[in-house]
Structure 1
């Protein structure tokens, strides 16, 4: 009689979650490069789009694996929420870049660059936290990452509010509308990073 092992499937969940987190870092860095160095814009946004599609692929793989698996390393709902929250981050980064191309905006200013930097830092914190899901012994360390991600989200809120104040000093209402939508997408990306942290925290509380 062949003995079936559930471990490969469990390991696959962790591999995919970490792949999604790594892709999130890559797209955040690509977006930061776009706003810091406003050259070759269509090519850079094309790369961001490719990374967003790669993130979609990983998310689909996680959900498909959920449907095939009888046993999961932690709650199914948490795995699904984690996958979708990380996918939301990549989607919002892509949307922010896409709006810039669609609206034909000028060179991004310091507030855009600062918010982009906070997205990169939050994404890297998520990528550093993800491997700690693999073992109960390391899950407690997730709390430290969650605290830092929450701090970064608060800083992003402050930057967003400051950006809006500065934006409404602009005379060109069309530019106000364009940049407000871009800022909202970027700030929402940091909110979704906080959603990821909340899932991490919940998993740690249930299992650590």
Structure 2
């Protein structure tokens, strides 16, 4: 009896992995079964101008145009309004460029002033740039992240900010990508991500007040 039981257990152990493998379906096989999650809440937020910085990421002719990313153009007036609100309150405004961008290629509505720092990198604007040092020198505790692309500079720079202990404020009407799906995915990743979920506030530009 003991020998029989041992043989049965051995067979179960032998075939169980194959059974599990047969039942498993990867994400591409389950693609059509994915359900859209409940949208995360947004909230009004009040920020301190002396400890908060506005980041305007990659709003350039190359990345923000009718042909490549028309939704980006729709966000520019909102980013401009937020920029003016920040400047009027004395809040620092920091810009970024793509690897091919120039200071002059930033769209006119949100053109940087001479005193505004501009960093240049790929998707993570902390990588190989002085951004972390700039924020540290300014004693910044929170950043408002705006710009394009949602799944590029916005996602990676917001994550980098959270990893450095900063509060991340994300106005959902001031980010853009080439499709709604990409914007939704980027917001969801930041809302649920292990590095960002505890440091993220979702809001809209009109709901940000600067003290």
The TM-score range, normalised by the shorter chain, is under 0.3
**Structure with the higher fraction of residues in strand conformation:** 2
Compute the TM-score of the two structures, normalised by the length of structure 1.
0.24
Q: Which has the larger radius of gyration?
A: 2
